[in-house]
Structure 1
Amino acid sequence: MTEIITPRDTRMKRIIGHVKGKEPGPVLVFFGGVHGNEPSGIQALEHVFKELNRDPLPVKGNIYGIAGNIPALLQKKRYLDRDLNRIWLKEEIREMEEGTPKNVTSEDQQMLAILEVIRDLLTAHQEPFYFIDFHTTSSKTLPFITINDAMINRKFARQFPVPIILGIEEYLEGPVLNYINEYGYVAVGFESGQHASEEAKINSIAFFWLCLVNSGALAGESLKQYKNCLQQLKQSAANNRSFYEITERYAIEPQDSYTMEPGFESFELVPKGTTLASHNGKTVATTKKGILFMPLYQKQGAEGFFMIKRIPKWILGISSLLRKVKADYLLASLPGVSWKDKSKSQLIVNLRVARYYSKAIFHLLGYRNRTLDSEHLLIKNREKVARNELYKDAPWF
């Protein structure tokens, strides 16, 4: 028998639910409502824990449901002061914990409360962790997964019949999963559909159940709706299981006037010269054909849209092989490239010397870049911190 632990008032509690299995197993931590205008994740967590209360299943390990930005959820806003999914930065966290922040916002308080829960869970459990962050988008979209590009994230994400997006960490500062990836555990974001749509809620529920099965927390034969969940995501994703890479982010500032042209959807192929939006009175049009991703149809947000491209399977195969043989150590022998420090987890690229090196080379080996200044890039390898040994017995590894 599985022990079910749920609070009385899920709307105001940080821990939406906790299931503790009688047998050891993985620890799954689900986040919902990190953005307050995205209710589907919270609805999915409440639904699944209610189901588990009514009909307990032979779950192994521990399952947690965590509420994100509670004040913003109650007001149905993306955020109140600042985006909770953009402030998970080590330096800011250190300043707040030391009591020296310049200004403490509502989202800062929420972040510290969630961080305390994460740390408590990491202290309480030694088993492999899976962190799953539920989101939705303001535009119509296929459901999709976003990951930081470590092989354990890739391998786990491949178990789900939806598109997978790599490289978003190069374009966004401070998402919660970026911070969690520093611990080396599996961490995936799941975008289930358009805000507040019934399909987004259904997709989130299906993804939750499949996470239990794919992580080994629940045997597939124990879940009567397993095939239905699989079919739901396949159909909603239009049988698209491709990998994609972010190639462009169109940034906007809070004070800007930005209006997306109506009718665009994620994963839509747009020709060169397509008018996408109006930004501060100027027309924004594509300079070449490409695949549109997450066009903005809400007031709050720092990205007007992204562009993506599909990654061929042979590129993914070469990337996997090169990482397996640790070919990244050869990068430091290239002119203009050197290790940042003795840990050999980050490289400094001098663009005056190495300006012709393709980003694709670094991406193949698991490195993602950050611009330090006009002449230098800092590139970091997610594989260095990945705790592969914890997952070697997982069904997907």
Structure 2
Amino acid sequence: MPTARTAIDTHLKRILGHIKGREPGPVLVFFGGIHGNEPSGIQALEKVFDDLSRNPLSIKGHIYGIAGNIPAILQNRRYLEKDLNRTWFREDIAALERGEQTPITSEDRQMLEILGVIRDLLKAHEAPFYFIDFHTTSSKTLPFITINDAMINRKFARNFPVPIILGIEEYLEGPVLNYINEFGYVSLGFESGQHASEEARVNNIAFFWLSLVFTGALQEEEVEDFNTYFAELKQSAANNRNFYEITERYAIESGDTYEMIPGFSSFETVKKGNLLATHNEKQVVAEKKGILFMPLYQQQGAEGYFMIRRIPKWVLALSGALRKFRAEHLLASLPGVSWKDREKSQLIVNLRVARFYSKAIFHLLGFRNRTLDQNHLLIKNRERAARNELYEEAPWY
């Protein structure tokens, strides 16, 4: 059992670091330890802020490092009462702030404190904002990025030499980045490697420095090891810069017994019929050939594994073109599809009428899907909230 950290001997605070630049510029907000058993993000933030304090550079804008679930970090547990990265629902937050939700958990308190920091930053600074959430996985993995598939997220993520995963927000409810995406700012998750590995810490540090350069907070020539950082990530990702989308989530309920068969890693191809896990003493096998993603090798978690597939480049190009010309408005003219309200940011799909429509069509146009009931989908336009105009002067736009 790892020794629990203490606030006294680690100096762990909510604000791990803040660098104020000499000139106006972007505001970068990094999160580490949203899951308490993922120390690499915290370690990387502490290291880079220490380096920056010792060697001030010509930074533009502001850089912040934010600690996540501090009580869970101190006990090296994913969470104490409930997953902090599944609690970010506007209705629940409003109920908490009105004092209507009881009992209040440790994660509720952490969420409200982090939310207070986010609100303070949004009030204190002018855009553009970049929110980056550092994570690690319980299995071996290539480093990768997860994004809500707005074009500004996609364009920014393309700068990094790692694979990019689209569509995870359709399968996970309540992550902090889903909440932040509603503000329309660039936000992404970076999964740097396996929990507590040195490779994960190194990858987070590299990602931090590359982020400073790609956002324009720092000039490339000022980062002495820029090429080394880029090469480290590229090598760690095995030269994989493909886009993928989630196609399946294997869910685990509270109280279930689940054990992944040893040896699987993310991005591993599995064949139909491969034994993957045991769930409540029953065997779980792959229903078809696919690419395994984030197999669960820890005690806490609600996802046994995901399956993904690679997105061809022509599909990505078509998707960008259709969104540019606002082709989503054609959807409302299709049988079984109608706008939910006058804002035209969400569509209701009647599956009894539109049962032959593919989810892929909605994905191309920038919509995410959520099941309302057996016969209806609610699809929400990711592009509607994206504040593209704030990033038009960014070097990557």
* Fold shared, TM-score > 0.5 on shorter chain: yes
- SS state at 2:353 partner: helix
Task: Indicate yes or no: 2:225 matched with 1:235.
Answer: no
Say yes or no: does 1:225 pair with 2:225. Answer: yes
Counterpart residue identity of residue 29, structure 2: V
Match of 1:48 in 2: 48
**Aligned counterparts of 1:215 and 1:239: Cα–Cα separation in 2:** 23
- Aligned equivalents of 2:58 and 2:96: distance in 1? 41
Deviation at 1:12, TM superposition (A): 3.2
Q: Secondary structure at the match of 1:348?
A: strand
* Alpha-carbon shift at residue 127 of structure 1 (Å): 2.2
Which residue pairs with 1:200 in the alignment?
200
Task: Determine the C-alpha separation between the residues in 2 that align with 1:22 and 1:392.
Answer: 22
Q: Which amino acid in 2 is paired with 1:237?
A: A
Aligned to 1:4: none
1:308 is aligned with what amino acid?
I
Using the TM superposition, give the Cα deviation of residue 54 of structure 1 relative to its aligned residue in structure 2, in angstroms. Answer: 1.0
1:274-328 alpha-carbon deviations (Å, 9 max, x no partner): 0000000000000110000000000000000000000000000000000000000
Question: Residues 170-196 of structure 1, C-alpha deviation per residue, up to 9 Å, x if partnerless?
Answer: 000000000000000000000000000
1:355 Cα deviation after fit: 0.8
The answer as to whether partners of 1:214 and 1:396 remain within 8 angstroms in 2 is yes
What letter is aligned with 2:297?
Y
Matching residue of 1:396: 396
Aligned position for 2:290: 290
Q: Which residue of 2 aligns with 1:63?
A: 63
TM-score by length of 2: 0.97
Preserved contact between residue 79 and residue 107 of structure 1 (Cα < 8 Å): yes
Q: Deviations over 1:324-375 (max 9, x none)?
A: 0000000000000001101100000001100110000000000010000111
2:12 corresponds to which residue? 12
In 1, Cα distance between equivalents of 2:11 and 2:283: 42
Q: Which residue of 1 aligns with 2:344?
A: 344
Counterparts of residues 34-183 of structure 1 (less than 5 Å): 34-183=34-183
Which residue of structure 2 lines up, in the alignment, with residue 250 of structure 1? 250
- Return the offset for 1:126: 1.1
Amino acid at match of 1:169: E
Q: Which amino acid aligns with 1:204?
A: N
Whole-angstrom distance in 1 between the partners of 2:50 and 2:70: 20
Cα shift readout 1:232-287 (whole Å, capped 9, x = no counterpart) = 00000000000000000000012000000000000000011000000000000001
Counterpart residue identity of residue 206, structure 1: A
In the other structure, the counterpart of 2:383 is 383
Secondary structure of 1:354's aligned partner? coil
CA distance in 2, matches of 1:277, 1:346: 37
Structure 1: distance between partners of 2:379 and 2:282: 34
Structure 2, gaps ≥5 residues long? 1-6
- Residue identity matched to 2:18: H
Letter in 1 for 2:257: S
Q: CA deviation at 1:11?
A: 3.9
More moved, 10-19 vs 48-57: 10-19
Quote how far apart the aligned CAs of 1:76 are. Answer: 0.1
Percent identity between the aligned chains? Answer: 74
Residue 279 of structure 1 is matched in structure 2 by: 279
Please list the CA deviations of residues 138-184 of structure 1 after superposition, one character each: whole Å capped at 9, or x if unmatched.
Answer: 00000000000000000000000000000000000000000000000
Q: Please report how far the alpha carbon of residue 103 of structure 1 lies from its aligned counterpart in structure 2 after TM superposition.
A: 1.8
Q: Secondary structure at the match of 1:25?
A: strand
Aligned length: 391
* Change in CA separation of 1:11 and 1:274 when aligned onto 2, cut-off 3 Å: farther
In structure 2, the residue matched to 1:184 is 184
Partner letter of residue 127 of structure 2? E
How many Å separate the matches in 1 of 2:10 and 2:58? 24
> In 2, Cα distance between the equivalents of 1:274 and 1:150?
35
- Distance in structure 2 (CA, Å) of the matches to 1:54 and 1:63: 15
State the match for 1:357 in structure 2.
Answer: 357
